[in-house]
Amino acid sequence: MSLVKKFATVASGTLMSRVFGLTREMLMAAALGTGPVADAFNAAFRFPNTFRRLFAEGAFNAAFVPLFAKEIEANGMDGAKRFSEEVFGVLFSVLMALTIIMELSMPLIVRTVIAPGFVDDPQKFSNTVSMAIIMFPYLACMSLAAMMGGMLNSLHRYFAAAVAPVFLNVILIGVLGYAWYAGHDDIAIGYGLSWGVMAAGLVQLAIVWFAVRNAGISIGFRRPRMTANVKSLLVLALPAAITGGITQINLLINTNIASGREGAITSLANADRVYQLPLGVVGIAVATVLLPELARALRSGNLEEAGNLQNRSVEFILFLTLPAAAALLVMSEPIIRLLLERGEFTAESTSRVANILAIYGLGLPAFVLIKAFIPGFFAREDTKTPMIFAAVSVVINVAMALTLFPILAETGIATAEVTAGWINAILLFATLIWRGHWGRDIPLLTRIPRLIIAAAIMALALSYAIKWLEPYLAAQAPVHVQAAGVFSLILISMVIYFALAFGSGGASLGMIRRNVKRRAKAPEPPAENPS
């Protein structure tokens, strides 16, 4: 299967999840706005979600996948099954202990880590603690699901792990629909969503568990022991968890800081949901596919193939994220107004969220490039260097957020995140070049400035088009008229960008055809099914 086709397989599942997530956010905005219950739910959900990205997606996609793939090559599917059972026994035991400790400590954690700004509002604080207690077991489900998702990715079965997150949003949309039908108040909606998160964790775990069984591996429980394989995993996983979850570390810290202003946490969460659509679709697809492919090329000694994988991934990223970044910068307000401004979500809320989204747009290429650069380290089993750079970006983020929040409120926090993201990306890329792990690719170097110019011209044209279509984008216009206006802007931007990108040589149909048809040189192992 070609690299682009693999990206498309993962991206399609991720796109489904992001679209449903955006729908969920629209319904939540209408039901809760940026009020105290919305703040409480978003703060409470941020905590298990942060741990999930730190100790599940980040650690296992970075550390587990190369070791699992190596075990398949060395000892076949039987060795891979034994390795996965050893890891499952340790992971399950650790997660149960962690869940119990966190549940008992939740009032202290909310007071000191998640949202110290809520302490002065007893009702808001109490709701946040209760919702976090309900939702925290979601971490255990998703960590085990991430391990099994890593197994599926190593076996070239990408879709099940990519589509499983859709069910979180489907369940929460169902909760919101029922709440509207039954006429529930804000508090009932918040608690209903919390129980929905817990149920979604169980459903997602069941989906990937059945997919792993269908792939030919039945995981049994083994008494947790620190075997050589588990020790190797832990050595790689700790720094990988920190590195892979750097965005979540920053978001958790920023949630803590933002809790000092009413509505700031929810405004950041609303902007993040819209921004996650392009970030998730492109970034997760690249990171999920690139790591096992790059690890396989390096193990076979095919450095030319490894270099080509990295350069084509960056080419793919910039081709898609540069116009998305330019569009978010210029047309964030019409987008937010169309998607969220109804019910309890006011015009003031639109302005706040749109300002954050515009700033996030500037960081979009950086955050996706990080996902393409990190596999260059992880595939070589170097998880410490990205961890150091991640720590540097955290320090920069915290320092800037604390400095800018009193001046710019939540937009200061967004500025800090974006700055830290670009510094992290630059450090990763410079180190890969310095170590000789990133070869110079003349076609890529000539295309980048042309793509940047195409995106800049597109943004300029969009700014004029927004003024021309202003009557159709205003809050007074009916929703279907606003939708037509926004989709017209998207169509205009696509026509201008693609015409300039292809016309200037920043992209070519021949390049796309080669990437679509291109097949990895290393043979893929045959899929095994249980008899």
**What string of DSSP letters covers 424-481?**
HHHHHHHHHHHTT-S---HHHHHHHHHHHHHHHHHHHHHHHHHHHTHHHHSTTS-HHH
User: Would the pLDDT of 13 be above 90?
Assistant: no
Residue with the larger pLDDT of the pair 514 and 370: 370
Work out the pLDDT band at 248, boundaries 50, 70, 90: low
Average pLDDT for residues 21-38, to the nearest whole number? Answer: 84
- Predicted confidence at residue 525, as pLDDT, reads 37
Q: Structural domain tally of the chain? A: 1
Residue 383 and residue 243 in contact, taking contact as beta carbons nearer than 8 Å: yes
Higher per-residue pLDDT: 286 or 516: 286
Pairwise pLDDT comparison (294 vs 41), residue with the higher score? 41
* pLDDT value for 523: 36
How many Å apart are CA 49 and CA 252, to the nearest integer?
Answer: 9
Burial bucket for residue 28 (CB in 10 Å: 0-12, 13-18, 19+)? buried
Residue of 10, 53, 286 whose CA lies nearest to 156: 10
Q: Please name which of 31, 19, 18, 3 lies closest in space to residue 345, comparing C-alpha atoms.
A: 31
Q: What is the mean pLDDT of residues 316-322?
A: 84
Q: What is the mean pLDDT of the chain?
A: 81
pLDDT higher than threshold 50 for residue 527 = no
pLDDT at residue 250 greater than cutoff 90: no
- Classified as helix, coil or strand, 80 is helix
Classify residue 297: in a domain, yes or no. Answer: yes
Average pLDDT for 475-503: 91
Confidence check: pLDDT of 332 > 50 = yes
Q: Given this model, what pLDDT does residue 259 score? A: 82
Q: What is the pLDDT of residues 179-236, one digit of tens each?
A: 988 989 889 999 999 999 999 999 989 988 888 888 777 777 777 778 777 777 777 6
**Cβ-Cβ contacts under 8 Å for 205 (sequence gap 6 or more):** 141, 142, 144, 145, 148
pTM as predicted: 0.69
Q: Residue 513 — pLDDT band, cuts 50, 70, 90?
A: low
pLDDT at 422 over 80: yes
Checking if the pLDDT of 383 tops 90, the result is no
Q: Is residue 451 part of a domain?
A: no
pLDDT, position 192:
95
Most confident of 11-20, 97-106, 259-268: 97-106
Residue 502 lies in a domain: no
| pLDDT at res. 530 | 36
Residue 519 has pLDDT above 50, yes or no: no
State the pLDDT at residue 518. Answer: 45
Q: Does the residue 476 lie in any domain?
A: no
More confident call, 262 vs 294 = 262
Q: Supply the pLDDT for residue 62.
A: 63
The reply to whether 283 falls in a domain is yes
Q: Which residue has the tokens 């679709």?
A: 281
Please tell me the predicted confidence (pLDDT) of residue 244: 57
**Distance, CA of 65 to CA of 140 (rounded, Å):** 19
Question: How much is the average pLDDT of 462-470?
Answer: 92
Q: Which two tokens stand for residue 149?
A: 């998702």
Residue 22 pLDDT exceeds 50: yes
pLDDT of residue 486: 92
User: What value does the mean pLDDT take over residues 280-306?
Assistant: 62
Query: Which of 178-182, 287-291, 451-455, 463-467 is least confident?
Result: 287-291
Range name among 72-81, 115-124, 132-141, 367-376 with the lowest pLDDT average: 72-81
Asked if residue 513 belongs to a domain, the reply is no
pLDDT at 175 over 90: yes
* Domain assignment present for 80: yes
DSSP for 310-342 reads HHHHHHHHHHHHHHHHHHHHHHHHHHHHHHH-S
Share of the chain above pLDDT 70, in %: 81
Residue 448 lies in a domain: no
pLDDT value of position 203? 93
With cut-offs at 50, 70 and 90, classify the pLDDT of residue 2.
low
Domain of residue 120 covers: 3-442
pLDDT at residue 489 above 70? yes
Find out whether 336 and 357 touch, Cβ atoms under 8 Å: yes
Average pLDDT over residues 288-302: 62
